[in-house]
């Protein structure tokens, strides 16, 4: 019956074998590993006994590898090269010479909150890549939980506990109603506003959920005339006269100043939407991701 080798061999013995087979001199091996020559000989003997094979021919002070020793050395050399490569990679990552930071964020958050930090991070660490996965905030949260992202920068939903995640506030985003033309010279009410066609984000976004809660809290039914997946398309629709848009003030401020759009002021207080950074408690942040967060906090106004 075929006898399989002992699979519980101390890997330190393979390390000693590697150095001994490389130098073919037990004295040099002892100096390299800072042990006695006797310790080297005993370790090799122990490995041979556990494998049931002779690995070295010993002729006085000279040693050569047996056929079995040559075969083992070919495998062990590859293993040590892989280990050295792994150590070099770890050093590169630690030195921020390589690696990738995976971030989930919506188009709007990326454009208005992340770009400056990405630019600053790239200037400081040009060899580290930044990969942005542009998805609505709920989808970014899912990807973070699944371990697909290092960081999710999201619109915070007030009714979501974000269990298993750590949430850090980053900024606040004021939202407003806009139209192509002014509806009236005075403030209107949400009920009156609801009589006009509304253009807003689709249902799978935090912004839409906040808007629905806002309407419901004032007893008004939210019935959008048009739903789109991005604010850019909403602006195009409003510009085409299709209805009233619900958008962040930040993305339309210049257009408001140029009178391309008009802000529709209402008596009810529109809730701001908070922007936050989420990380997964079960996935330690890489050094690169930590550095990016430091820069993001400094560049966010």
Question: Domain residue spans in the chain?
Answer: 11-94, 100-172+275-299, 175-271
Calculate ∠ Cα 108-245-230, nearest 5°: 30
Q: What are phi and psi of 28, to 5 degrees?
A: -65, -40
Domain 100-172+275-299 of CATH type 3.40.190.10: yes
| % the chain with pLDDT above 90 | 62
What pLDDT is recorded for position 164?
85
Question: Is the torsion defined by CA of 124, 127, 133, 138 positive or negative?
Answer: negative
pLDDT band, residue 254 (cuts 50/70/90): very high
Whole-angstrom Cα distance, residue 248 to residue 231? 8
Q: How far is CA 150 from CA 76, 124, 155, 171, 280, in A?
A: 35, 19, 17, 19, 7
Q: pLDDT per residue over 86-133, tens digit each?
A: 776 676 566 677 778 899 999 989 998 999 999 999 999 898 889 999
Mean local confidence (pLDDT), 134-139: 90
What pLDDT is recorded for position 203?
87
Whole-angstrom Cα distance, residue 239 to residue 252? 12
Q: Is the pLDDT of residue 7 over 80?
A: no
Whole-angstrom Cα distance, residue 72 to residue 17? 9
Kind and range of the H or E run holding 63? strand 62-65
pLDDT band, residue 58 (cuts 50/70/90): confident
Q: Is the pLDDT of residue 206 over 70?
A: yes
Q: Is the pLDDT of residue 285 over 90?
A: no
Q: Is the pLDDT of residue 62 over 90?
A: no
What pLDDT is recorded for position 1?
38
As beta bridge partners, residue 65 has 56
Mean local confidence (pLDDT), 284-301: 85
Q: What are the b/e assignments for 95-112, b being 16+ CB within 10 Å?
A: ebeebebbbbbbebbbeb
Q: Is the pLDDT of residue 141 over 70?
A: yes
Domain 11-94: CATH class, spelled out: mainly alpha
Q: Average model confidence (pLDDT) for the chain?
A: 88
Q: Are 100-172+275-299 and 175-271 equal in CATH topology?
A: yes
What pLDDT is recorded for position 2?
44
| % the chain with pLDDT above 70 | 93
What is the model's pTM?
0.66
Q: pLDDT per residue over 25-57, tens digit each?
A: 998 999 999 999 999 999 999 999 999 999 999
Asked if residue 262 lies in contact with residue 178, where contact means CB atoms within 8 angstroms, the answer is yes
Mean local confidence (pLDDT), 277-289: 86
What pLDDT is recorded for position 123?
93
Domain 175-271 of CATH type 3.40.50.150: no
What pLDDT is recorded for position 93?
66
Asked if residue 138 lies in contact with residue 206, where contact means CB atoms within 8 angstroms, the answer is yes
Tokens of 205: 């976004």
What pLDDT is recorded for position 281?
85
């Amino acid at each position: 019956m075929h006898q399989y080798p002992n699979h519980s061999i101390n890997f330190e013995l393979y390390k000693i074998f590697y150095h001994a087979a490389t130098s073919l001199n037990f004295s040099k091996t002892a100096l390299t590993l800072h042990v006695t020559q006797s310790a080297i000989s005993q370790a090799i003997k122990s490995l041979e006994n556990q494998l049931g094979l002779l690995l070295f021919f010993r002729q006085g002070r000279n040693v050569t590898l047996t056929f079995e020793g040559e075969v083992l050395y070919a495998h062990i050399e590859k293993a040590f090269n892989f280990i050295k490569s792994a150590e070099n990679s770890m050093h590169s990552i630690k030195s921020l010479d390589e690696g990738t930071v995976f971030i989930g964020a919506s188009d709007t958050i990326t454009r208005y909150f992340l770009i400056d930090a990405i630019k600053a991070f790239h200037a400081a660490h040009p060899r580290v890549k930044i990969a942005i996965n542009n998805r609505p905030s709920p989808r970014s949260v899912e990807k973070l939980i699944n371990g697909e992202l290092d960081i999710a920068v999201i619109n915070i939903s007030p009714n979501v506990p974000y269990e298993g995640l750590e949430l850090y506030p980053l900024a606040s985003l004021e939202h407003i109603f806009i139209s192509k033309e002014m509806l009236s010279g005075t403030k209107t009410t949400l009920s009156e506003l609801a009589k006009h066609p509304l253009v807003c984000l689709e249902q799978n976004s935090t912004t839409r959920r906040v808007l629905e809660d806002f309407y419901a809290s004032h007893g008004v039914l939210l019935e959008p005339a048009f739903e789109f997946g991005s604010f850019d398309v909403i602006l195009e629709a409003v510009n085409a006269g299709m209805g009233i848009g619900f958008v962040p003030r930040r993305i339309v401020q210049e257009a408001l100043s140029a009178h391309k759009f008009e802000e529709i002021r209402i008596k009810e207080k529109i809730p701001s939407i908070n922007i936050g950074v989420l990380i997964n408690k079960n996935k330690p942040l890489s050094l690169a991701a930590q550095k990016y967060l430091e820069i993001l906090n400094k560049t966010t106004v």
